[in-house]
Amino acid sequence: MPFPKKASPPGQDHQNSLAQAAALQRIAGKAARIGGWTIELPRRKLTWSDEIRAIHEVPDGFTPTLEDAIEFYPPEYRAEVTRKVEACIHEGRPFDFELEIITSKKRRLWIRAVGEPVRDEAGTITSIQGAFQDITPGKLAEQSAAEIEARFRRLSESLPFIVWTATTEGRVDYANHHFYKYAGLPEEADPAASWPAMVHPQDLQPSIDAWTHSLEQESIYTTDLRLLRHADQAWRWHRIHAAPIRDAKGAIALWCGTALDIHETHRLQAESNRLATRLTTTLESITDAVFTLDPEWRFTYLNAEAERLLRRDRASLLGRCVWDEFPEAVGSTFDKQYRLARAQNRTVNFEEFFPPLDSWFDVRAFPSNEGLTVYFRDITEHRRLQHQFLRTQRMESLGTLAGGIAHDLNNLLSPILMGTSLLRNWQSTEDGRKLVDQIERSARRGADLVKQVLTFARGTTGNRGPVDAGELLRELASIVTTTFPK
């Protein structure tokens, strides 16, 4: 069965509540490094809480006089502290100040002291009381932040370009002197209200849209736009860059940005693009085929003529290795010459036949830091004509030589033919007459051969006709039988 609750003595609950409140106050004061103090009047009796003693690093139970307490302040602050305390005692003027103290262990701490008068029913000041807090960590952080801010300002003011910061909402709250000089504005002008007038009308809205996107995404902001230079009223290209600066918890504390004058770079880039377009147009219109290779032997460019001669479209070759796309070239003169050009950093020029394309090419390869540029032409027809020309020259030389020899032989054969008639009359035997007949036939065949050689020497094609092979063989057999020894 439940027991009845034992009743507390009269006033016990109130005392317990006070004790509990005091305990909570001590815990809170210790956590916050804050304590309380009183000065009873007119005796000027000073009372410190335990936390104030801990801040001053004095023993428990230490009870200082008002003068002792003021002695904890460095000499340069004591007169000021005395003046504020006396004004509170005599005039009821409250005080709230932040100063340094020197503890009993000679450590310098930053404190905040707050005091106010306590009056009786008649309005007479009977005491003063207040709080005393160690604010050293916060003060040091504040000083560190101030030092960082000062260093940032000194650095930004020394830079030859625009430096700016913005709040987490994206409002520009600081710009260095270069901004005001560039815009022709006094340094007290609000940068947030001033910068839109500097931006070219065509660039203003795109830059705002990009800035809004970066704020929403918490991402780095980069854009190129034109700013008006007050000195000569010239629009000049700038690259605007900003990044979020985050605190220890990872939240964005501010945005820090720059505006770099890239007008000359922009102009050179535009000129470079113009020249590149012009070069591409030129390369596409020339009769030579051109392709370029990077250091890894990958195609980076081909003109239309290169596509035609290689019988491949550029889309299938760009970014691909030349040796993979044309494996038949590996180990060939093309391979050796290209590698020689790269290895010795010199131009090579050669002519070579490439069987897969059944073509002769005249090739010039120029090495560079970007790889290799190759110019080539199809010289297959040129090589055929050159071969035909050389053959014709050889035939002409042979014809000239043959003509000279034929005339000499003709001069030799004519007397033989004339002499065979006389020889026939002198022969009394049948064998002798047959021999003369054979000599005459051979001389006439030689004369016919000389006639053909002379026809060839004059470049005439001559007439083709049937030949009695049997008769030719019989004559040859007769010559061999009578001429060669048995």
pLDDT 10s digits, 58-112: 999 899 999 999 999 999 999 999 999 999 999 999 999 999 999 999 999 999 9
For residue 23, pLDDT beyond 50: no
Q: What angle do CA 124, 115, 127 make, to 5 degrees?
A: 30
- The whole-number pLDDT of residue 353 equals 95
Task: Give the separation between CA 459 and CA 465, rounded to whole angstroms.
Answer: 19
pLDDT in tens, 334-385: 999 999 999 999 999 999 999 999 999 999 999 999 999 999 999 998 888 8
**Higher local confidence (pLDDT), 403 or 160:** 160
Is 305:290 a contact under the CB 8 Å cutoff? Answer: yes
Reduce the DSSP state of residue 463 to 3 states and report it. coil
**Tokens in use for 124?**
């007479």
Task: Say how many C-beta atoms besides its own lie within 10 A of residue 484's C-beta.
Answer: 7
Q: What is the token pair recorded at 208? A: 């705002």
In angstroms, the CA 35 to CA 109 distance is 15
Determine the Cα–Cα distance for residues 413 and 369; give it in Å rounded to an integer.
75
Q: How many residues does the chain have?
A: 486
Domains observed in the chain: 31-140 (3.30.450.20), 159-267 (3.30.450.20), 286-381 (3.30.450.20), 382-458 (1.10.287)
Q: What is the pLDDT of residues 271-296, one digit of tens each?
A: 777 777 776 676 676 788 999 999 99
Task: Provide the angle, in degrees to the nearest 10, between the axes of the packed helices 469-483 and 430-457.
Answer: 120
Burial tier of 291 (Cβ tally within 10 Å: 0-12, 13-18, 19+) = buried
What is the rounded CA–CA span in Å between residue 279 and residue 272? 10
Q: Output the CA angle 91-86-55, nearest 5 degrees.
A: 125
Locate tokens 């390369």: which residue? 283
How far apart CA 167 and CA 174 sit, in angstroms, is 9
Map 401-419 to HEC letters.
HHHHHHHHHHHHHHHHHHH
Q: What is the pLDDT of residue 286?
A: 75
What DSSP designation does 332 have?
Answer: S
User: Using one digit for the tens of pLDDT, what is the confidence trace for 138-153?
Assistant: 888 787 777 877 787 8
Looking only at the bridges linking them, the beta strands covering 299-302 and 348-354 are: unpaired
pLDDT of residue 273: 74
Report the SS3 class of residue 34: strand
Confidence of residue 28 (pLDDT cuts 50, 70, 90): very low
Q: What is the pLDDT of residue 3?
A: 34
Q: Can you say whether the dihedral through the CA atoms of 9, 14, 17, 18 is positive or negative?
A: negative
Q: Burial code of 144-177, b = ≥16 C-beta within 10 A, e = fewer?
A: eeeeeeeeeeeebeeeeebbbbbeeebebebbbe
Share of the chain above pLDDT 90, in %: 59
- Is the pLDDT score of 453 beyond 70? no
